[in-house]
Structures are given as structure tokens and as C-alpha cells.
Amino acid sequence: MFVAGSLPHTAPISAAAVPSTPLGPFEDSAIAWTTWATLMGFAGLVALALMLGPPARRIGPGTLAATTARLARLARAAALLGALAVPAALTDLAHDASEGGGFDYGQAWNSLYDGSNTGRLYGLEVTLSLAGAALIAPLGLRAVASGRARRWLLGGGLAAGVVALGTTKFPDEVPDEWGRTSIETAAWMLHLLGGSVWLGGLAGLLLLALPGAIAQPDRGSFWYPAIRRFSAAAMTCVAAIALSGLFLYWEHVDGPTQLFTTMYGRVLGVKILIFGTLLLLGSVNQFWLHPRIDALRAAGDDRPLRTILTRRFPALVAVEVLLGLTVLMVAPFLHGSARNQAFQAHLARHATTATTTLPKIPMKQVSASTWIYGSIETVAVVVIMIAGYQASGRIARRRAASATAPAGDTGAVLPAG
């Protein structure tokens, strides 16, 4: 581990200007954002469609048409994103293949399945994105969405989307350390899948909250189980993102000071702030808005506060979706690591002779304390998530019980407006 103020005594130090760490062209980040948004959005929408199937069916046989209409709406949006992921991935590859900063689509196309591991991964990304869209597209028809094949099509589409997303982080060469590489890949998959289900699910809920998606008689019976089911999945995703994020932080950052003294750290700090805002809004949903809606559902649909809250819910979800898309825009600006940037800056400041290159800091080594602290963090995050979900459920049940109490007791619990 590199500590500011210390200097390795392994080799002579060469003079150099403090290396600059530019953010990179905005165009590159915009292209990467499009690829991430389409791949993650596809997986998230398909996961939401699978997630909401059981509560939707509990509405009753008389609402089968409404259930299939909701599934068809999600399927059409998911198929569109899956199809858009193909040109997005090719554009990203074409931009990398162009030597003049443009887009060489011919070279990008020829590099798919060119015999190299990188070509195979890019080929799988494009192929599986298209295959996932093809599997989900038939569910946009209500006749297919109401048939027995819907779960197989959703499952196959989700599997294709997950592997397509994984190809962006799978190693493209045989690793020297299988254990470390496996842990890194697993951490990235947790990070990406957690973000996909959480943010893609929010986008899907917003899509269902738009006018015409759910008939008025079915809204109360649909939204309560749907929100509770998604809340459980969202809190699981938050735990996955937090744990994988802690590992990636340990790997790339040496202490909180590097969040302010390096470009990588400052970009990561912005990402953490946006993620924290998302968590805050999610907490508002989980512990305030959802329990109050549940209470009004128990009391009846004709209360004025229910209308106010159900209008706030789509607005709050829309803000969360926009913040999630902002996180995806910030992420491509993360280049290198804060540890290496701080290490090279330290070498340059203490240099005595001129050179054009600076050495890189070695990767952190896993020790017994790393496993101990990691295990403690894992247990703490899991316990907090489970306790939070159970607490929000108790709050919802208490509010529902208060709402169904005699009229003289409800006014103090649920004030109008």
C-alpha cells in the first residue's frame, strides 16, 4: 500500500512533470453511456417483468387482459433497448478501432469473432443482445404474453442479457492469478447486475405508472404487492452494489484523502454523492411514501391523500431514474486508479532526473485482515438491508391498521395533504 509521504526504495527516482489525468473526451463517455444504458436497461426491464408476474396474477382471472397488457408494455420497451444495444456496442467498438478519432464500422464488424478473445467477447455482446431482443419481442403481443411460453421467453431473454452485460467485464486473456481475477469479475458482475435490476426496475415502474398502463380498478391490488416485491429486490441490489463498490474502492483507492487529491478520486466522489442521493430518495420511498400509500389502500381509494401520494410516486421514481442515468454518465470518466495517480504524482514531485515515463504502483495484496474486514462489512450490509426491509414492512402494517381504525383515530395519523 502506498502512503503519502513515503517513498519506495526499490529504484532510482527519475524527474518528470506531475502527470496529468484528463477526464477524456465527452464523446467517448457519451458512447459508453449509451452502451451501458441499453444493456443494463434491457436486463432490468426483463427482470422486472419476471418479478411482477406472481403479484399480477393474484389480481384474479378477470384481469388477465390487464396483466398481459402490462407485460406487453415492459416487453416492448425491453426489446427496443436490446435491439439498440447492438448499434451502441458496434459504435463503441468502431470508435475504438478508428485511428483518426472517427468511427470505423468496417473494422469493428470484422473484429467480431476474429479469433482473439477480445473479438469473441465483442461478438458475444452483439449476438446475445440481439438474441435477447428477439426472445422478448414476441411478448409485446398480448396473445403471446398471456401464453405458457412467456416465462421461458423472459428467462431466456434475461440470461442472454446478463451474459451480454458480463462480456464487458470478462477478462480477455488468461489471468496470471485466477483467484484475484475471479473475485474482480464477480465484484463487477454484482455491481452491474445490481444496478441493472435496480435502475431498470425503476424505469419499468415509471413506465407502468404512466396513464393507461393499469386500469383504475386494478391499481390498488396491483401496486401494493408489486412495490413490496420490487422493494425487496431493490434492497438486495443496493447490498450487492455496496459490497462490490467497497471491494473496488479498496482495490483502487488508498484512503479518503485520495477522493480529493486525485482525478480518479474526485470523479468517484461525484459518483458516490449521486449514489447517496439515490439511497436517500429510495429511503423516502421505502419508509415514508410506500407505508402511507399502503395505509390509504387499507382505508379506501377515495381519500384525497392517496391521489397526492400516487402522483408523487411517479415523480420521485422519475428523479431516481434520471440520477441513475447520471451515474452511468459519470462512470466512464473513471480512468486508472487513485492509488496509481497519487503514487506517480509523489514520484514526480521528488524526482531528480528527467524521464518520460513513471512506474506504476503494484496491486494491493490480500491479507488476513482484508478477509476479516471484508467479512464484517458483508455481514453488516446484509443485516442493515434485512432490518430496513422488515422495519418498512412494520411501518406499513401499523399505518394500515391505524387507517382502518375508527374515524376519530385516523385524522391524527393521516392528515390530508
The number of domains in the chain is: 1
Tell whether 356 is covered by a domain.
no
Question: Does residue 133 lie in a domain region?
Answer: yes
338 assigned to some structural domain: yes
- Confidence band for 212, pLDDT divided at 50, 70 and 90: low
Mean pLDDT of 150-159: 92
Q: Is the pLDDT of residue 249 over 70?
A: yes
Residue 220 has what pLDDT? 61
CB count within 10 Å of CB 106 equals 10
Q: Is 91 a domain residue?
A: yes
Name the band, by pLDDT with cuts 50, 70 and 90, for residue 359.
Answer: confident
- Over residues 330-357, mean pLDDT: 80
**Mean pLDDT, residues 222-239:** 81
How many CA atoms lie less than 13 Å away from 145 in the CB half-sphere? 25
Highest mean pLDDT among 54-68, 97-111, 114-128 belongs to 114-128
In this predicted structure, the answer to whether residue 278 has a pLDDT above a threshold of 50 is: yes
Q: Is 311's pLDDT higher than 70?
A: no
Of 323, 343, 304, nearest to 19 by C-alpha is 343
Report yes or no on 8 lying in a domain.
Answer: no
- Which structural domain, as residue segments, surrounds residue 160? 26-347+361-413
C-alpha cell recorded at residue 318: 422519475
Is residue 340 predicted with pLDDT exceeding 50? yes
Is residue 20 situated within a structural domain?
Answer: no
Strand partners, 15: 354
pLDDT range class, residue 309, cuts 50, 70, 90 = low
How much is the pLDDT for 71?
84
Q: How far apart are CA 118 and CA 172, in angstroms?
A: 5
Of 195, 196, 200, the closest CA to residue 271 belongs to 195
Across the chain, how many H-helices and E-strands are there?
16, 0
d(CA 410, CA 292): 12
Predicted local distance difference test score (pLDDT) of residue 113: 93
pLDDT averaged over the chain?
A: 80
- Which pLDDT does position 325 carry in this prediction? 92
Place of cell 459508453: 32
What is the per-residue pLDDT across 5-29, written as a single tens digit (0 to 9) for each? Answer: 444 544 444 455 556 666 777 888 8
Res 129 pLDDT > 80: yes
pLDDT score at 103:
87
**pLDDT band for position 78 (cuts 50, 70, 90):** very high
Q: How many angstroms separate the Cα of 327 from the Cα of each of 28, 78, 267, 271, 272? A: 15, 20, 10, 6, 9
The more confident residue out of 26 and 297 is 26
In a domain, 53, yes or no: yes
Residues belonging to the chain:
417
Q: Work out the pLDDT band at 3, boundaries 50, 70, 90.
A: very low
Within a domain: 155: yes
Q: Give CA–CA dist 238/280, Å, rounded.
A: 12
* Structural Rg of the chain based on CA atoms: 25
